[in-house]
Amino acid sequence: MSTAPGRLRIAIQKSGRLSERCLDLMREAGLRVVKGNNDLLYRVENYPIDILRVRDDDIPTFVADGVADLGIVGFNVLEEDPVAHAKGAKTVMPLGFGRCDLKIAAPETFVWSGAKSLEGLRIATTYPNVLKRYLQTNGVNAEIVEMRGAVEVAPRLKMAHAICDLVSTGATLEANGLKAFATVLNSEAMLIRSPKDLEPALQELAESVIARFKGVVASQGAKYVMMNAPKAALDAITAILPGAGAPTVTPLAGRDDAVAVHAVCQESVFWETLEKLKAAGASAILVLPIEKMM
Ligand code: PRT
Ligand code: ZN
């Protein structure tokens, strides 16, 4: 795969659960992605950036080798890839989407009393490396049955006693009469970067893309909260605001006893929060979405 020199390359999943969310992230970060006639390569028209669209399993190695400078991939894929591990693809940050858990599951009737319950059993998985580490950490000897997919049918086919597979809603386990007993790994999409050096201009561009992605992730779920508050209740009100740093406090025209309080809340602001603020004496409470944050 060849890309033009002097362009930053970001690898994302071509088609699958993470693809659309990756493109959304780019858009929200102000990168105008244009789909050319080359299916493997999208271009960003307002910056010298190419988007490589590949199988998610290839992303860690591409980034480790410097074929791509940045990549977005599930933490589960990254943890499973020993080559990329060895070559040092570096994680930059979690991106807050593509959440799922790698779990140990077995037929509902299975009697579970900790990881030791797996001793001597066969466990089917598409994540043999991660599973092997889990078994080693827990001092368990079990046989790993490596599969390419459809792991959830293995117990029914008597290929394995248990499975180790990704779970998000749990519907697949339920549909196959399986129950999750332990979590091996929590996963979400991660931004990773290559250990290879970039030319200075691209290095600068990479830093700015990372800073924008950070801004997008930080502003998700964050809210700008404004209210009027009696001066005497300021401490109580600050304590109620979820995930807020020091709020901005400004005088209100013609009022000596009350102030305006503005704060950025990093966590969800629920109706209960507003009710508590009101009970503490706040009035004219406004909760506004935040579009960008840096
Ligand atoms: O073609 P390519 O190799 O690129 O794609 P892929 O088929 O390997 O991956 P894809 O698109 O299925 O998933 C991409 C990434 O999404 C994964 O690596 C995870 O990081 C993340 N992700 C989040 C999931 C799930 N949730 C998920 N539920 N990946 C897979 N699943 C599967 C799981 O394997 C099981 O079969 O969904 C089923 C369980 O879902 P529930 O909702 O029934 O519990
Ligand atoms: Zn894959």
Tens-place pLDDT, residues 40-59: 999 999 999 999 999 999 99
Ligand 1: residues with CB < 6 A are 13, 16-18, 55-57, 74, 76-77, 98, 100, 165-172, 187
2 lies in a domain? no
* One domain for residues 108 and 158: yes
27 lies in a domain? yes
* One domain for residues 273 and 135: no
160 lies in a domain? yes
* One domain for residues 209 and 177: no
Task: State the average pLDDT over residues 29-46.
Answer: 93
pLDDT at position 243: 79
Do 59 and 68 form a contact (C-beta atoms < 8 A)? Answer: yes
Atom of ligand 1 nearest to the CA of 77: 18
- Could you tell me the pLDDT band of residue 85, with boundaries at 50, 70 and 90? confident
The first and second tokens of residue 103, run together, are 């779990």
Of 219, 237, 263, the one marking the end of a domain is 219
> Is the model's pLDDT at 4 over the cut of 70?
no
Q: How far is the CA of 94 from the centre of ligand 1 (A)?
A: 17
Task: State the average pLDDT over residues 76-89.
Answer: 90
pLDDT at position 2: 47
* One domain for residues 197 and 62: yes
> Is the model's pLDDT at 1 over the cut of 80?
no
Of 142, 167, 187, the one marking the end of a domain is 187
Number of domains in the chain: 3
Tens-place pLDDT, residues 199-258: 999 999 999 999 999 999 989 888 999 999 999 999 999 999 987 778 999 999 999 999
Rounded to the nearest integer, the mean pLDDT of the chain is 95
294 lies in a domain? no
| Number of neighbouring beta carbons within 10 Å of residue 110 | 17
Q: How far is the CA of 262 from the centre of ligand 2 (A)?
A: 45
Do 9 and 69 form a contact (C-beta atoms < 8 A)? Answer: yes
Percent of the chain with pLDDT over 70: 99
pLDDT at position 266: 83
Atom of ligand 1 nearest to the CA of 172: 43
- Classify burial at 21, counting beta carbons within 10 Å of its beta carbon; exposed 0-12, middle 13-18, buried 19 or more: middle
* One domain for residues 93 and 12: yes
CATH number at residue 49: 3.40.190.10
pLDDT at position 261: 96
Q: In what order do the strands lie in the sheet with 178-187?
A: 143-146, 122-125, 162-167, 100-107, 178-187
* One domain for residues 43 and 75: yes
Do 148 and 55 form a contact (C-beta atoms < 8 A)? Answer: no
Do 51 and 72 form a contact (C-beta atoms < 8 A)? Answer: no
Q: Which ligand is nearest to the CA of 101?
A: 1
* One domain for residues 121 and 41: no
Q: How many helices (H) and strands (E) does the chain have?
A: 9, 16
Burial 216-237 (b: 16+ CB within 10 A, else e): bbbbeebbbbbbebbeebbebb
DSSP for residue 53? E
Per-residue CA distances from 168 to 2, 100, 113, 212, 220 (Å): 36, 5, 23, 28, 20
Tens-place pLDDT, residues 132-149: 999 999 999 999 999 999
Task: Tell me phi and psi for residue 122, to 5 degrees.
Answer: -100, 130
* One domain for residues 183 and 198: no
| Ligand 1: residue whose CA is nearest its atom 29 | 166
DSSP-based three-state secondary structure for 206: helix
* Closest to 8 (Cα-Cα) out of 33, 25, 36, 28: 33
Atom of ligand 1 nearest to the CA of 13: 4
Those residues with Cβ within 8 angstroms of residue 57's Cβ, 6 or more apart along the chain or in another chain: 77, 81
3 lies in a domain? no
Q: How far is the CA of 60 from the centre of ligand 2 (A)?
A: 11
47 lies in a domain? yes
* One domain for residues 91 and 205: yes
264 lies in a domain? yes
Do 70 and 10 form a contact (C-beta atoms < 8 A)? Answer: yes
| Ligand 1: residue whose CA is nearest its atom 14 | 17
pLDDT at position 12: 98
Q: Which ligand is nearest to the CA of 54?
A: 1
Q: Which of 91-95, 178-182, 216-220 has the lowest mean pLDDT?
A: 216-220
Choosing from 23, 52, 56 the residue with most ligand 1 atoms within 8 A of its CB, the one to mutate for a pocket test is 56
The first and second tokens of residue 26, run together, are 């780019």
* One domain for residues 183 and 211: no
* One domain for residues 228 and 284: yes
Termini Cα distance of the chain: 34
* One domain for residues 77 and 34: yes
Q: How far is the CA of 17 from the centre of ligand 1 (A)?
A: 6
Q: Which ligand is nearest to the CA of 147?
A: 1
1 lies in a domain? no
CATH number at residue 273: 3.30.70.120
Choosing from 164, 166, 187 the residue with most ligand 1 atoms within 8 A of its CB, the one to mutate for a pocket test is 166
Task: State the average pLDDT over residues 100-104.
Answer: 98
200-219 vs 19-28: helix axis angle to the nearest 10? Answer: 100
Domain residues for the domain of 213 are 8-97+189-219
